[in-house]
Structure formats: C-alpha cells, structure tokens
Amino acid sequence: MAFLALLHSSAVFAAGAHSVFLEDLTSFELRAAVANGSTTVLVPIGGTEQNGPHMALGKHNLRVKALAGQIAHRLGNAIVAPVLAYVPEGSIFPPAAHMRFSGTISISDATFESLLESTARSFKQHGFHDVVFLGDHGGYQKSEVRAAEKINKEWASDSRTRALALTVYYEASQAPFIQALRSKGFSDAEIGTHAGLADTSLTLAIDKTLVRMDLLSEGAKTSPADGVYGDPRKASAELGQIGVRSIVERSVQAIQETVKQHATR
C-alpha cells in the first residue's frame, strides 16, 4: 500500500510540475520553472456579472482561464496566474448596468488598479520579467493600461521587468470575430455586444456547461431588459472557435513581439 501511495504521489507531482497554471504548482516547482526560463506570467482578468437568463455569472472567469492556458502553452515559457474575478462593474448604489441583476459583483476602479499593481509587484519579486494583463471584459481595459503604465514608471530603472496591458486580447474578440460572423450572414442585431450570438458562441467553445442550451433551443427571445444585447439563439461552439483562434493567435503574436522588443533594449 505504501508503494502504491508513493507511485500516486509521484504521478501527482509530475502532473503538477508540467502544468502552466500557478495554482497547480508547488512553490519549489514554480521557482524551478522561472529559473528554467518561464519568466512571463499571464494575469487573467475576468469578472462576475449577469449574462442574461442563459449564461452563467462566471463566464468571464472560466473563459479567460481557459484562453490564458492556451496562450501559455503556445508561448512555451509562460505561467498563468489565478483569475481575478472581482472587477469594476459600475455603481453599486444606486445599482446601474449589470449591478441591476442578481450576482454581479463590482469594485471601484481605484481598488481594481491597486490590485493589478500589487499583483505585478508580487510577480516581479518572484523573478518574472514580463507581467501580462489579459482582460476578458471591455469595461476595464483603460484601467489595465493605467496600472501597467504606473508599474512601468516604477520599474523604469530595472530594464529586465515590465508590465503589459494586452488590450489585443480583448480587441481580438471584437472586430475580427464580428467581421467573421458577418461574413457568415449573421446580422449585427444577432451578433450583439453582450450575451448575444458572439458572446454566447465564444463561451460555448470554451465550456458548454456555462450556457443553458435548453433555453436557447426553445427559441426564447431575450432583450436588454433581460441583460442581453443581441440574439444568442443561433450560437454554437463551432462559431465560437473562430473567436478562440483570433484571441489566441493575436495574443501570442503580440506577447512574443513585445517580449522580443523588451529583450533587445
């Protein structure tokens, strides 16, 4: 029995040591990974908000973790930090926008930016050179940029380290994905801007359990009053894969180019 337990623990250790997710690693495994060249850390930023009657509140969190994992695997030298699930979602009282719906969690812009700054400082302390913010939500992109700019001013005397607000990650889920959907005959009214065809398809491509397909298959119509801007009824994982490819490919390219430029300075 002791021998079997030893085999099991060794298998778990091996599995954890090869993961790109920081939470799967021990402190010693992470230290070894950084020493061996994994000096880029991806900070996935999600958000906890309403997504209509058909999509789970944690959509952004689960989506950005999965996509960050794909990006890290493609990069080959990156670690994925834990997802930041608490983000600015608007006024709490009186409630506005998503806060009008149950389950949405909001923090202030200042708190959010301070969180990003402290996260970046933590990773610099542990030997990472490039701290990359990946935001799955459009509402806080400017906060990511401000936090990165502040950190880079703070680190100006250290040429090895920098923070990057990778707005390309979010932008890849917008114009390129929307244009691809238009080319397939979908209207802007269907594609939508929140919880519509594009948003729902992208989520289906990551984790279909986050979408209540029974509601969509029954042809239930939704509207802004339900927190939905678009029409998700024709959403599919196949369509969502278009968005996944756009996000991963463009993000990997942008990170590689930035890291290369940084290394040659």
Contacting residues for 74 by C-beta, under 8 A, at least 6 apart? 248, 252
Least confident span in 23-37, 60-74, 135-149, 221-235:
221-235
Q: Which two tokens stand for residue 70?
A: 């794909």
The position carrying tokens 């670690």 is 79
DSSP characters for 117-134? Answer: HHHHHHHHHTT-SEEEEE
Contacting residues for 157 by C-beta, under 8 A, at least 6 apart? none
Q: Are 195 and 57 in contact (CB under 8 A)?
A: no
What mean pLDDT value characterizes the chain?
Answer: 92
Q: Which two tokens stand for residue 20?
A: 């790109």
pLDDT, tens digit, 9 for 90 and up, residues 161-206 = 999 999 999 999 999 999 999 999 999 999 999 999 999 999 999 9
How much is the pTM?
Answer: 0.91
CB count, 10 Å around CB of 137? 20
Q: According to the model, what pLDDT value does residue 13 have?
A: 41
Domain ranges of the chain: 34-263
Q: Which residues are bridge partners to 135 per DSSP?
A: 45
Q: According to the model, what pLDDT value does residue 16 have?
A: 61
Q: Are 198 and 230 in contact (CB under 8 A)?
A: yes
Q: Which two tokens stand for residue 112?
A: 């959010």
The position carrying tokens 């991806």 is 42
Which value, in Å, is the radius of gyration of the alpha carbons in the chain?
20
Q: Is 241 exposed, middle or buried (0-12, 13-18, 19+ CB in 10 A)?
A: middle
The domain 34-263 having CATH identifier 2.60.120.10: the answer here is no
131 pLDDT more than 90: yes
- Grade residue 2 by pLDDT with cuts at 50, 70 and 90: very low
What DSSP state is assigned to residue 193? S
Q: Which two tokens stand for residue 34?
A: 């950084």
Q: What is the dihedral of CA 88, 91, 97, 100, to 10 degrees?
A: 110
Q: How far apart are CA 113 and CA 109, in angstroms?
A: 6
